[in-house]
Structure 1
């Protein structure tokens, strides 16, 4: 069974768990909801998450999100680096992402001088489209339809030349979204955005895997504590799913809030990262 097919099934279970976590649904209740036997559900869920459904439930509860926020002094999360995420050599501690914003000319002309390679892949969180220039990853999005995904990509760089090819930059980035990865090389991002957006996206990169922060904390980190609403807009315009971890920003109440690629997927990623980080220590 493909990763994408498994995710579709798991997503239905996660959506049910997220909607009913206060009742702490049993394994049989969740399995029945997605029309699988308990044994089959337990097996595919554990294969996907690396942890049991019961443990996963703990990592997507509202109280868990609140405890993460409460146990960190404001902005302490943002002073950390990605290296503090996973400790195991097979995890993400070697990963470093550098932003290189497009020049004003590149930004203005819609990428007229750029060749953009793009490809489609299946990941543990569903299908993605990923694109890159010679300088770095410029776009990544979850998608349910490849044709629509490519149309959306073209609107981001209306004058660029597009070539359907998976290059080395894309392969390195995709490895993060696949089951295991070791000795990751530096991943560069070549982004189209305003100065304010780039600051917000850089701030997001400081949030370690398995941790969460708030819009207000991001605003404070970029030196404009009154800009929470503008920060939310910039996060909503994040062009690179998962690598720029906008899914790690939640409401100050502990509620996960919205996500460009669906609240169920955000819930899945937060739970998966929390569980993986916990089991690596």
Structure 2
């Protein structure tokens, strides 16, 4: 999967979903439709900060052009016509980053897409969940992972991924892969992963961590599953630090509304990281559709890819992929069983 999945036209939500998006001023829905107010003759994007009109005075159309054709004019407060321009600019910036031999500077990227640097920095982060520099680093790390699987020499893989020096590759690998390039290439060789299981009302949970943080939380798995993921890592018993983290994980299973901050060490592409960040931004007790998650990270056409990223989640409950449903409201999939997904959602709603 590439970090950037090109957006295609997204289906407009039904009127009730559109109204709900306006009530919560959902920025993730900007660009998917506009709301038209019959009493004022204006149209707005869902995140507009203006006072909400009465429901009976609102209708919804798929895009600004349709609203203008119906006789409405753009809101001067939220400027709905600029949403499409912003997203095209982010697309152009990502294309520039992907095609550059060296990471372009922020001012060069901003000039390329026609924005002021400080404004585009905020815009890019709003649309993707990452800064342009972080996106470029994640892209290089993803390329390093691919190169490590194809090249026989570590140094060759580092330069093939676009790094100018091995030192930066090793620094990025420690941050994004959780281990050095050589350890990644060799199934975790030289890395120590401590692990254990903790009992919960939804079954035993495996909790595993490197010295950087949690790398696996899963229901119903054991040592064999962990060894299959890291066949050459040193697996060790839980220590006091892991016991503390495991107790917090168990508490989170019992009450997934809890605000728990734990160190993590998970691998993922830039796209996956953006999806996982969007999942953690969903308030407890609320749900989102896969389409809404895709829109939240600026990829409204990448619904299937967003679903795959949810399925690739390594940290059950801590990264709450159980809060994502299909667009029709049905449960969809869950790597650790739909009964557990239903139970977690019920607990978040206090049932």
The equivalent of 1:133 in structure 2 is 210
Q: Kindly indicate whether the alpha-carbon contact (under 8 Å) linking 2:255 and 2:347 is maintained by their aligned counterparts in 1.
A: no
1:239 aligns to 2:314 (yes or no): yes
What SS does structure 1 have at the residue aligned with 2:336? coil
The 2-side partners of 1:169 and 1:238 are apart by 20
The equivalent of 1:113 in structure 2 is 190
Mapping of residues 26-65 of structure 1, within 5 Å: none
Q: Kindly indicate whether the alpha-carbon contact (under 8 Å) linking 2:186 and 2:232 is maintained by their aligned counterparts in 1.
A: yes
The equivalent of 1:47 in structure 2 is none
Which whole-Å deviations, capped at 9, do the CAs of 1:159-191 have from their partners, x for residues lacking one?
A: 21100214424523532432579x977411100
* Higher RCO structure (Cα 8 Å, ≥6 apart): 1
Normalising to structure 2: TM-score of the pair?
Answer: 0.47
Q: Kindly indicate whether the alpha-carbon contact (under 8 Å) linking 1:115 and 1:133 is maintained by their aligned counterparts in 2.
A: yes
Change in Cα spacing, 1:213 to 1:76, as seen in structure 2 (3 Å) is same
Q: Kindly indicate whether the alpha-carbon contact (under 8 Å) linking 1:136 and 1:187 is maintained by their aligned counterparts in 2.
A: yes
Which whole-Å deviations, capped at 9, do the CAs of 1:177-207 have from their partners, x for residues lacking one?
A: 32579x9774111002222222211221111
The equivalent of 2:78 in structure 1 is none
The 2-side partners of 1:272 and 1:205 are apart by 17
The equivalent of 2:334 in structure 1 is 259
The 2-side partners of 1:159 and 1:207 are apart by 36
What SS does structure 2 have at the residue aligned with 1:163? strand
Q: Kindly indicate whether the alpha-carbon contact (under 8 Å) linking 1:141 and 1:239 is maintained by their aligned counterparts in 2.
A: yes
The equivalent of 2:282 in structure 1 is 207
The 1-side partners of 2:243 and 2:268 are apart by 20
Normalising to structure 1: TM-score of the pair?
Answer: 0.58
Match of 2:241 among 154, 160, 168: 168
The equivalent of 2:73 in structure 1 is none
Q: Kindly indicate whether the alpha-carbon contact (under 8 Å) linking 2:28 and 2:297 is maintained by their aligned counterparts in 1.
A: no
1:123 aligns to 2:123 (yes or no): no
Which whole-Å deviations, capped at 9, do the CAs of 1:99-145 have from their partners, x for residues lacking one?
A: x53267254433223110000110132211110011100001000xx
Mapping of residues 173-212 of structure 1, within 5 Å: 173-178=246-251, 186-212=261-287
The 2-side partners of 1:120 and 1:245 are apart by 19
What SS does structure 1 have at the residue aligned with 2:187? coil
The equivalent of 1:101 in structure 2 is 176
Match of 1:250 among 306, 309, 325: 325
Q: Kindly indicate whether the alpha-carbon contact (under 8 Å) linking 1:136 and 1:169 is maintained by their aligned counterparts in 2.
A: no
1:152 aligns to 2:212 (yes or no): no
Q: Kindly indicate whether the alpha-carbon contact (under 8 Å) linking 1:210 and 1:274 is maintained by their aligned counterparts in 2.
A: yes
Match of 2:298 among 223, 227, 245: 223
Q: Kindly indicate whether the alpha-carbon contact (under 8 Å) linking 1:173 and 1:187 is maintained by their aligned counterparts in 2.
A: no
The 2-side partners of 1:107 and 1:231 are apart by 25
Q: Kindly indicate whether the alpha-carbon contact (under 8 Å) linking 1:138 and 1:190 is maintained by their aligned counterparts in 2.
A: yes
The 1-side partners of 2:187 and 2:231 are apart by 5
The 2-side partners of 1:180 and 1:226 are apart by 33
Q: Kindly indicate whether the alpha-carbon contact (under 8 Å) linking 1:116 and 1:133 is maintained by their aligned counterparts in 2.
A: yes
Q: Kindly indicate whether the alpha-carbon contact (under 8 Å) linking 1:116 and 1:161 is maintained by their aligned counterparts in 2.
A: yes
Change in Cα spacing, 1:111 to 1:170, as seen in structure 2 (3 Å) is farther
